[in-house]
Structure 1
Amino acid sequence: MAVSDVTAIIPVFNDRPALERAIPVSLEILAQITDEFEIIVAEDGSTDGSATFVREYEKNSSKVRLLHSDERLGRGTALNRAIREAQGSIVCYYDVDLATDMHHLPELIEAIRSGADIATGSRLLPESDIRRTEGREIASRSYNILVRAILGSRLFDHQCGFKAFNKAKILPIISTIRSNHWFWDTELLVRAQRRGYTVTEFPVRWRAGKGTTVRLKDVFGMGSSILRLWWQIHVSKD
């Protein structure tokens, strides 16, 4: 495939129903932004036929590309792999359930075109329009307060699955990221800010996907990851 203007990455693990909606919606919105784009489905060891569905799409659309793994890599590792494989000079990714309103996609891409190294949607700015359970809201706000306090981030929402990058600038960062799963987003944003990268954060309309829950072990795991990254940055100097 020739070099594209934009690569959109959709990470997926066992969520074929969401994928069946995400691909056609992505094709429609990306076509309004640029003629030169590709969609990479970073399919991470799914067993529900997600890979088969994307292969069928590949036969009919040169814009869609499957990046399959037989074994589960973890969300972070799958994203690293897809970013390296991307043909676009601008790379974005969003959650397969399209929890963030896709009408924000032009704004996300335009932020990179206007000079930002990274752009990210935010569910925690005053202008954001979000809908989720009280438990998830408390957990999210508490987590992001800790990231700001302990890791020195200036951002408000580190885990929103709606981000874009200048590919040339982001490649050196992803080679330093140790997290292979959900903490990947936070680690990337923290390390990028420490390098002086320009990060644009803007409010989005966001609706929690069906079946998404916050488990106690996830909360503890995130807390441990914050402390581990602090140690890597300040003590081991990684």
Structure 2
Amino acid sequence: MYELSILTTCICHKESDLGLSRRPMGVPDNPTLSITVPVYNNAASLAQLHERLVSTLRTAGLEYEIIYANDGSTDNSYEVLTGLHDGEGRVKVLDLVKNYGQSAAILAAISKANGDIIITIDADLQNHPEDIPSLVAAIRNGADFACGVRLNRRDSLFTRRGPSWLVNRLVGHALGVNLRDWGCGLNAVTSVLAMEIFAQNPPPALPKAEAALMASCIAQIQVGHSEREHGRSEYTAWRLLCFSTGLTWSNSLAQPS
């Protein structure tokens, strides 16, 4: 059994980064956080998610803002989000005109972020807000990209975990970066790296893949995972496999002959 919230792996692209001894550029001693949350038909989980986010961040003594990007939800997610304003300017709500997809919603939220460290977390409560301080610690200790590795996943073996196992290997092979859990939505990145990713024209279709390729040092952090209590995932086994094979194919075309 693994213990949660420990630094499990560091993938460094530069030899000088192997010790995780330097603080990434742009990260002060007391960094501010921008929590970015893509939302699509998550009305039932938003109030609890917000409560846990605020409780975790306040308990950890972290300065923060929370940016929700409503990605064309057809339920009452937007109405719930507009009720979460705290009167202190810590909560921002973006309302996209249609459903552009999770990556576009994340990039939209990042474009409004002011923090030194940017966190991404899914809105369905399968990710645990309580794991955010561990990702922040990894960034403060020298990584410029910290990504979650879900333990004891509460998903179906045949429709989620099995396909995800294959996706991890296909994507890792395609990109040459062996992350243990490409599908985990809980990640942290320095604002400097995030802005470099966002500045690309056109913006990347897969921000996490781009972060993994551009980061100097990647920390992989073991995080918790819960069953999905509300709604259903938009990422079916078929979509996961199409995503990974498409990425593998496009990357092979980009390689010099």
TM-score band w.r.t. shorter chain: 0.7 to 0.9
Partner Cα distance (1:145, 1:208) in 2: 24
Partner Cα distance (1:219, 1:154) in 2: 17
How far off is 1:174 after superposition? 3.3
- Give runs of aligned pairs for residues 65-84 of structure 1, distance below 5 A: 65-84=92-111
* 2:247 matched residue in structure 1: 225
**Contact 1:108/1:120 (<8 A) preserved:** yes
How far off is 1:143 after superposition? 0.9
* 1:192 matched residue in structure 2: 214
2:192 is the alignment partner of 1:168? yes
Q: Following superposition, which runs of at least 4 residues in structure 1 exceed 3 angstroms of deviation?
A: 174-180
TM-score, normalized by length of structure 1?
A: 0.84
2:29 is the alignment partner of 1:7? no
The structure, 1 or 2, with the larger RCO (C-alpha pairs under 8 Å, 6+ apart) is: 2
Partner Cα distance (1:200, 1:79) in 2: 20
Which consecutive residues of structure 1, in runs of 5 or more, have no partner in the other structure?
none
**Residues 34, 67 of structure 1: CA spacing in aligned structure 2 closer, same or farther, 3 A cutoff?**
farther
Aligned residues: 222
Q: Given residue 228 of structure 1, which amino acid in structure 2 is its aligned partner?
A: S
Partner Cα distance (1:173, 1:179) in 2: 7
Q: Choose from 142, 158, 166 the match for 2:182.
A: 158
Indicate the structure with greater helix content: 1
TM-score, normalized by length of structure 2?
A: 0.78
- Give runs of aligned pairs for residues 1-238 of structure 1, distance below 5 A: 5-58=32-85, 60-123=87-150, 128-135=151-158, 136-176=160-200, 179-180=204-205, 183-185=206-208, 187-193=209-215, 197-210=216-229, 211-212=232-233, 214-232=236-254, 234-235=255-256
Deviations 1:59-108 (A, max 9, x none): 64532110111222221111112112101111101111121233211101
How much identity, in percent, do the aligned residues show? 25
Partner Cα distance (2:197, 2:248) in 1: 18
**Residues 190, 226 of structure 1: CA spacing in aligned structure 2 closer, same or farther, 3 A cutoff?**
farther
Deviations 1:150-189 (A, max 9, x none): 3211321112000011011221123347554xx443x224
Which consecutive residues of structure 2, in runs of 5 or more, have no partner in the other structure?
1-30
Secondary structure at the aligned position of 1:10 is classed as: strand
**Contact 1:117/1:170 (<8 A) preserved:** no
